[in-house]
């Protein structure tokens, strides 16, 4: 289990009510070395807002403020996390085909030693655990508490990861505090308004030299062949998802970032498994090939140079 919430990362967070800095409350239960909070509170330096830390997880979520769709997704993800924790089989992403998503995503993020990463929608940590080995700090946020509890167990004695129970569409962090921001499958966010909140958070969080990497479901060849509606739900879980085109991804994020690159990934070819072809190698090879890459299941986007005027902060546009 993780040691607790790292005191050093308190400065990266802001009050969700007024955006002011936070400070450590009194009578907190700390780790033996005093660097981590097991139980306690953080207080806004400006207003009366208080945020609790329980078993090392910081709670910044106002559940009552969630819309009905978000509450439904939170419930479904909590239920799935509980089932996964009790299951004996491997997680849904522990397979070769999932690596066709993981590898290009991590390569695009290009996280390095000395960097601080903000992960939005971390789930039970399929990326978080890997990122912890690659950078100095990871601030991982999710609104499924059960998923965070699973991640906490997976982290064991990891000292550089902070877990936050929060809403990535309304959270606030210290401006220009992060070198990288990662958010996978933002197409689960139910409306453009929700995604705009996430874009604003990512852009405000990034340093001027930073990079935001995010992915979406793809409205590509296979999705059209299967007759999937662009706006729909997973058949098994009922969670919302939207299938994007590459042009839709870039158009939506361009309001918040000057530079955006997007391409399909996780390319699936018929009979690839039956023929025992190297799925990851084949997918990576096909990613840059026009038309063929429309077979991709996901779209991977890399955004840089946040436009400060559109981030809800009193700053001028960078440059």
CATH code for position 143? 3.40.50.150
| pLDDT at residue number 1 | 58
Instruction: Report if pTM > 0.95.
Output: no
315 found inside a domain: no
Q: How many domains does the chain divide into?
A: 2
Asked whether the predicted pLDDT for residue 269 surpasses 90, the reply is no
Q: Are 94 and 198 within one domain?
A: yes
- My answer on whether 143 and 270 are in the same domain is yes
**Do 49 and 107 share a structural domain?**
no
pLDDT single digits (tens) 81-135: 998 888 766 665 667 788 999 999 999 999 999 999 999 999 999 999 999 999 9
Domain limits at 4? 1-60
Based on the fold, state whether residues 40 and 142 are members of the same structural domain: no
Q: What token pair was written down for 167? A: 């809403």
Let me know: does 103 contact 282? Beta carbons within 8 Å.
no
- Residues 279-290 pLDDT 10s: 889 999 999 999
Shared domain for 6 and 67, answered yes or no, is no
Q: Check residue 224 and give its pLDDT.
A: 94
Report the pLDDT value the prediction gives residue 273, as an integer from 0 to 100.
76
Contacts of 314 (CB under 8 A, 6+ apart): none
192-205 vs 246-253: helix axis angle to the nearest 10?
A: 60
Residue 305: inside a domain: yes
Question: Using alpha carbons only, what angle is made at residue 176 by residues 2 and 112, rounded to the nearest 5 degrees?
Answer: 55
210 in the same domain as 296: yes
- The verdict on 31 and 165 lying in the same domain is no
Q: Are residues 186 and 292 in the same domain?
A: yes
**Domain boundary residue among 60, 82, 100?**
60
């Amino acid at each position: 289990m993780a040691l607790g919430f790292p005191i050093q990362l308190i400065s990266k967070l802001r009050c969700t009510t007024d955006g002011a800095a936070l400070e450590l409350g009194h009578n907190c239960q700390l780790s033996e070395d005093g660097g981590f909070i097991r139980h306690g509170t953080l207080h806004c330096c400006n207003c009366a807002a208080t945020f609790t830390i329980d078993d090392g997880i910081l709670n910044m979520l106002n559940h009552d403020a969630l819309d009905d769709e978000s509450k439904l997704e939170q419930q479904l993800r909590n239920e799935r996390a509980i089932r996964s924790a009790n299951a004996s089989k491997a997680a849904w992403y522990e397979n070769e085909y999932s690596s066709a998503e993981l590898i290009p995503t991590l390569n695009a993020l290009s996280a390095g030693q000395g960097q601080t990463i903000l992960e939005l929608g971390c789930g039970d940590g399929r990326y978080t655990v890997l990122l912890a080995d690659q950078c100095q700090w990871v601030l991982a946020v999710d609104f499924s508490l059960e998923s965070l509890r699973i991640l906490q167990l997976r982290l064991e004695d990891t000292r550089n990861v902070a877990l936050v129970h929060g809403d990535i569409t309304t959270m606030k962090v210290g401006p220009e505090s992060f070198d990288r921001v990662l958010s996978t499958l933002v197409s689960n966010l139910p409306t453009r308004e929700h995604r705009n909140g996430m874009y604003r958070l990512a852009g405000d969080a990034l340093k001027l030299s930073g990079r935001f990497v995010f992915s979406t479901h793809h409205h590509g060849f296979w999705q059209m062949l299967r007759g999937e509606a662009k706006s729909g739900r997973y058949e098994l879980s009922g969670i919302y998802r939207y299938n994007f085109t590459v042009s839709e991804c870039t158009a939506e994020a361009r309001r918040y970032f000057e530079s955006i690159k997007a391409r399909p990934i996780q390319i699936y070819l018929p009979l690839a498994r039956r023929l025992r072809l190297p799925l990851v190698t084949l997918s990576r090879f096909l990613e840059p090939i026009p038309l063929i890459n429309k077979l991709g299941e996901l779209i991977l986007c890399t955004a840089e140079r946040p436009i400060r005027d559109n981030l809800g902060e009193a700053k001028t546009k960078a440059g």
